[in-house]
Amino acid sequence: MPKTRSKKNPLNTDDTRHNRAISRDRILVANVMGAVKRFKIVSDRYRNRRRRFGLRFTLIAATYNKDVTP
């Protein structure tokens, strides 16, 4: 969890660095989840066979990784 500041207690430089490191990691995860939600497999109800959910999710992850990695 990031550290919070108040009017009377501002953050020191170590806390600020820690918060920025958390933010860097969080934005990467948020971007990946947003990309996966574009395929509607996570954002909507999955109405197909449950056995194939893992396969389809793996295929979507592979498609995303192919587009992202050089």
pTM, whole model, 2 decimals? Answer: 0.57
32-62 pLDDT per residue, tens: 888 778 777 677 777 777 787 788 888 888 8
Q: Please state the length of the chain.
A: 70
Q: Where are the alpha helices (DSSP H) in the chain?
A: 13-37, 53-68
pLDDT confidence of residue 13: 92
2-39 pLDDT per residue, tens: 888 888 888 889 999 999 999 998 998 888 888 778 77
